[in-house]
Amino acid sequence: MTSHSDLSCTGLVRRFSGHTAVDHVSLDVPAGTFFSILGPSGCGKTTLLRLLAGFDKPDEGDIHIRGQRMNDVPPNHRPVNMVFQHLALFPTMSVGENIGYGLKRQKVPAAERQKRIVQVLEQVGLPDLAGRNPQQLSGGQRQRVALARCLVLKPTLLLLDEPLGALDLKLREQMKVELKHLQKAFGTTFVYITHDQSEAMVMSDQVAVMRNGRFDQVAPPEVLYRQPETPFVAGFVGDNNRLRGDLVSVEGELADIRLDDGSRVRGRIACEGLEPGSRVDLFVRPESLVLAGEAINPGYTGMDARIRTTLFDGANSRVEAEAAGQTVYARLPQDGSAPRLGENAAVRLAWDPILARVFEAAT
């Protein structure tokens, strides 16, 4: 509960008839940051957000906003606003009235209200649309109106529940960047929910990865990507290859692993309590894999693989290969350095063991 954190929760629990949707979640969001909660469908993201907005009450735990306990404050008295998954613009009001609704509730005089509506519409890039009906707007425009409707109230905290979910891919890419800019411009603290890891990575200062009602890891995007702390995070954030095997020995922070086909590889240990002989999972990202001909970097570790097919996708082109009975993807650099590979060609896949992460195998 540091004074400069806008939102701080401790031990939040919400149960639905025997099923715990939010399970002892604690979080701390510093003022002015973009905080994302990332998790697969059904992990409890919306439930958590509804607790923050006040539509639902936690069974345990406390919610503090700017140091004030909020548990018993009804939603209309919290300094929090929410952008809904389906926006929930009032269909019976014009854009201007939608934005003016909250201002009216704050008893802002009409002239001032009008000024602020015009101003916020300009800020979100929709000047002159105040008279339209929400039904007459495009998806992206509606999105911005929903944002403007909340931002005009200058909330301490803005909650967003997968607001980009309904947009098409192109628009989503564009809105991602725009949201980030708007957040910087307004300086409002955002708590953003998504199941799309790329959204979370692009926009956030901090990302919490959520699973089964719990937070697995809370970290900046880059740390999440490079140093996942659980196998779930390693698998969920960014593309990753998982290789299963037995731990043979540990040297310093590197582990020597025997894969199921007998080949030996190495990786960096990412969890505690690993004993030789235990089953482990080694995660190595496609971009860490090098397709080596004969020459192999002396510090690298590697395994034999057989090419199945090549997947061309511009800068993101990969090969699909089979190694130790498992499917593995490797990035194909498009700078001409990669060899041309036919189907069934035998290759050796190598990597720097420091870049691979070894966890105890999930059962």
Partner 1 sequence: MMKDSASRLSLWLLLTPFLLWILLLVLVPHLQMLRVSFQVRESWDTLVWGFDQYQNFFTESYYWRTFVRTGVMSLFTTFLTLIIAFPIAWYIARLARGRARGLLFLACLIPFWASELVRTYGWMILLRESGLISSWLQLLGLADAPVEMLYNDVAVIIGLVYNGLLFMVVPLVTTLDGMDENLVEAGYDLGGGHLTVMREVVVPWAMPGIVSGCIVVFMLTLGSYLTPILMGGKDSAWFTQQIFTQFITRFNWEQGAALGVLLLFLSSVIVWIGLRLSGQSLRKVMG
Binding site for partner 1 (CB under 8 A): 53-55, 74-77, 80-82, 84-86, 88, 90-94, 96-97, 101-102, 105-106, 131, 133, 149-150, 153
CB of 243 to Mg ion, least distance (A): 33
Q: Which is nearer to partner 1, 149 or 285 (CB)?
A: 149
Closest chain position to ligand ATP (CB): 46
Q: Which is nearer to partner 1, 2 or 76 (CB)?
A: 76
Which residue, 169, 125, 116, is CA-closest to 144?
A: 125
Which token pair is 221? 């995007």
9 neighbors 61 (Cβ within 8 angstroms): yes
Q: Which is nearer to partner 1, 89 or 290 (CB)?
A: 89
Q: Which is nearer to Mg ion, 5 or 46 (CB)?
A: 46
Which residues are registered as beta bridge partners of 8?
28, 64
Q: Which does 74 bind (CB under 5 to 8 A by kind): partner 1, Mg ion, ligand ATP, none?
A: partner 1
User: Does position 42 bind ligand ATP by CB under 6 A?
Assistant: yes
Which token pair is 276? 């030789």
Q: In the window 143-202, what residues touch ligand ATP (CB under 6 A)?
A: 195
- Mutual angle of helices 139-151 and 95-105, in 10-degree steps: 20
Q: Which is nearer to partner 1, 93 or 171 (CB)?
A: 93
Please state, in angstroms and rounded to a whole number, the distance separating the CA atoms of residues 191 and 35: 5
Half-sphere exposure of 284 (CA within 13 A, CB side): 27
User: Does position 16 bind ligand ATP by CB under 6 A?
Assistant: yes
* H/E run at residue 193: strand 189-194
User: Does position 45 bind ligand ATP by CB under 6 A?
Assistant: yes
- Mutual angle of helices 169-186 and 139-151, in 10-degree steps: 20
User: Does position 44 bind ligand ATP by CB under 6 A?
Assistant: yes
Q: Which is nearer to partner 1, 95 or 265 (CB)?
A: 95
CB of 21 to ligand ATP, least distance (A): 3
CB atoms within 10 A of CB 299: 10
User: Does position 47 bind ligand ATP by CB under 6 A?
Assistant: yes
Which token pair is 154? 């200058």
124 neighbors 147 (Cβ within 8 angstroms): yes
Give contact residues for ligand ATP (rule: CB under 6 A): 16, 21, 39, 41-47, 195
